[in-house]
């Protein structure tokens, strides 16, 4: 029971112990297990600036407490992943002060393309519409969304993804079993069922004020880029932007009405060099450097527009410009029928013919 993984869970349950402090323990004692056995005076000497935390360590440093924690996890409806585990998100390992323990409900899918959609709690109708629209359009590209399950922009981003059958991650600033705000209870349950709820805080932990700025580093850390829909000039959303910039992530900002206080932050970000967001393609173009993205909506439209054989030929041409003889060979369609199909595809605007009976796709 006294192993490094369980000790990380123990330390996380106490609160206030950062990853930097964990590294400090390991550097000083050689490994975390020594922390369990070290004498009181020695630990106080190491933690002279954190005496309250040291007292917590001594108060809970017994097998009964550790066993209670582990048993609670074994009988819970959430999963616990530590930074030592293979399924810990790679994206989080790269950030400053990563959460060394995370609690999860729902489906883990952290390697897929993810964009965080963040903004003001006191949002405008325009902001809520935009958050939902961009989340839904990202879902068409199989890009998931990450946000903080707060009121306003966060909630609309989650809803937009869910309504399109997309993937979304809600990062909490409270315990994994806490519904905050209460009005988002049903949204929480939807995300738990169809996406992922994630927190670095264990069960029963209340939504304390300082948890939310800390939570923002996880939102940006999981994401390939951050979209700011609305933010006042001193909005907490800008903390997420700072984390994103430190992590080397793209930041996109939606321009807004210059007379609206909720657009001052986003307009200022654009002025300072954030990428202006006018269309979902602005995000997709950046993601295409990392992921082979395909638009499911366009794929469905193609399916509805083309016959089965037309689709087969179009897919062959879509890969790269290709000669008619090679199209016939790959598709298994004889030349005379193939000529008819190629003419139809040209008339519909899907392909065009290059010199030498070579064809290329327009879409």
- pLDDT of 283 > 90? The answer is yes
- pLDDT of 304 > 80? The answer is no
pLDDT in the model for residue 52: 86
Instruction: Give the DSSP letter string of 84-119.
Output: TSTTS-HHHHTSSS--SEEEEEE---TTS-EEEEE-
Confidence bin at 42 (pLDDT 50/70/90)? confident
Class of domain 106-287: alpha beta
- pLDDT of 190 > 80? The answer is yes
- pLDDT of 299 > 70? The answer is no
Q: Residue 150: name the closest of 214, 59, 239, 212 by CA.
A: 212
Instruction: Give the DSSP letter string of 117-175.
Output: EE--SS--HHHHHHHHHHHHHHHHTT-EEEE---TTHHHHHHHHHHHTT--EEEEPSS-
| Distance, CA of 212 to CA of 350 (rounded, Å) | 49
pLDDT digits (tens, 9 = 90+) for 9-22: 999 999 889 999 99
Confidence bin at 95 (pLDDT 50/70/90)? very high
pLDDT in the model for residue 300: 63
Q: Residue 191: name the closest of 215, 217, 161, 211 by CA.
A: 161
Sign of the Cα torsion 212, 215, 217, 219 reads negative
Sign of the Cα torsion 65, 66, 67, 69 reads positive
Mean pLDDT of 282-296: 90
pLDDT in the model for residue 306: 82
- pLDDT of 303 > 80? The answer is no
- What are the tokens at 71? 């048993």
Contact between 241 and 230 (Cβ < 8 Å): no
Of 28-32, 114-118, 186-190, least confident by mean pLDDT is 28-32
pLDDT in the model for residue 298: 65
- What is the distance in angstroms between the CA of the first residue and the CA of the last residue of the chain? 58
CATH classification number, 306-361, choose in 3.40.50.2300, 3.40.718.10, 1.10.10.10, 3.60.20.10: 1.10.10.10
- pLDDT of 311 > 90? The answer is no
pLDDT in the model for residue 292: 87
| Distance, CA of 301 to CA of 295 (rounded, Å) | 10
Could you state, in order of their start, the residue ranges of all structural domains in the chain? 1-75, 106-287, 306-361
Q: Between 240 and 50, whose confidence is greater?
A: 240
Average pLDDT, the chain: 92
pLDDT in the model for residue 363: 62
pLDDT in the model for residue 302: 65
What is the side-by-side strand order in the sheet with 250-253? 79-82, 101-106, 196-199, 168-171, 144-147, 114-118, 225-228, 250-253, 275-276
- pLDDT of 361 > 70? The answer is yes
Q: What is the DSSP letter of 223?
A: -
| Distance, CA of 20 to CA of 37 (rounded, Å) | 21
Cα-based torsion angle of the residue sequence 276, 265, 216, 158 in order, rounded to the nearest 10 degrees: -60
Q: Which residues contact 32 (CB under 8 A, 6 or more apart)?
A: 4, 7, 8, 11, 22, 25, 26
Q: Which residues contact 207 (CB under 8 A, 6 or more apart)?
A: 172, 173, 174, 178, 180
- pLDDT of 293 > 90? The answer is no
- pLDDT of 100 > 70? The answer is yes
Gyration radius from the chain CA atoms: 26
- pLDDT of 356 > 70? The answer is yes
Mean pLDDT of 2-6: 93
What is the side-by-side strand order in the sheet with 351-354? 322-323, 358-361, 351-354
């Amino acid at each position: 029971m006294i192993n490094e993984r369980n000790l990380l869970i123990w330390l996380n349950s106490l609160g206030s112990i950062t990853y930097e402090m964990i590294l400090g323990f390991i550097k000083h004692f050689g490994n975390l297990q020594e922390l369990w056995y070290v004498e009181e005076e020695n630990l106080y000497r190491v933690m002279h600036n954190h005496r309250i935390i040291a007292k917590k360590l001594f108060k809970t440093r017994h097998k009964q407490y550790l066993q209670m924690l582990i048993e609670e996890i074994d009988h819970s409806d959430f999963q616990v992943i530590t930074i030592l585990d293979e399924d810990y998100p790679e994206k989080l390992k790269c950030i400053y002060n990563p959460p060394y323990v995370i609690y999860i409900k729902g489906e883990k899918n952290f390697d897929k393309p993810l964009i965080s959609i963040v903004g003001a709690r006191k949002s405008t109708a325009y902001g809520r519409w935009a958050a939902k629209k961009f989340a839904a359009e990202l879902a068409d590209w199989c890009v998931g969304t990450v946000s903080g399950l707060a009121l306003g922009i966060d909630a609309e981003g989650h809803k937009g993804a869910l309504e399109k059958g997309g993937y979304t991650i809600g990062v909490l600033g409270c315990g994994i079993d806490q519904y905050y705000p209460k009005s988002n209870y049903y949204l929480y349950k939807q995300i738990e069922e169809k996406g992922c709820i994630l927190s670095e805080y264990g069960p029963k932990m209340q939504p304390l004020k300082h948890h939310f700025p800390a939570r923002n580093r996880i939102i940006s850390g999981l994401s390939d880029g951050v979209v700011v829909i609305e933010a006042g000039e001193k909005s907490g959303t800008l903390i997420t932007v700072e984390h994103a910039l430190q992590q080397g992530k793209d930041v996109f900002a939606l321009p807004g009405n210059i007379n609206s206080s909720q657009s001052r932050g986003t307009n200022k970000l654009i002025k300072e060099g954030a990428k202006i967001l006018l269309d979902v393609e602005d995000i997709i173009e950046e993601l295409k450097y990392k992921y082979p993205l395909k638009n499911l909506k366009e794929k469905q439209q193609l399916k509805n527009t083309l016959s089965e054989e037309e689709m087969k030929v179009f897919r062959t041409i879509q890969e790269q410009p290709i000669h008619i003889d090679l199209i016939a060979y790959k598709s298994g369609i004889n030349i005379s029928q193939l000529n008819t199909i190629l003419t139809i595809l040209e008339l519909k605007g899907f392909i065009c013919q290059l010199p030498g009976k070579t064809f290329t796709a327009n879409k």
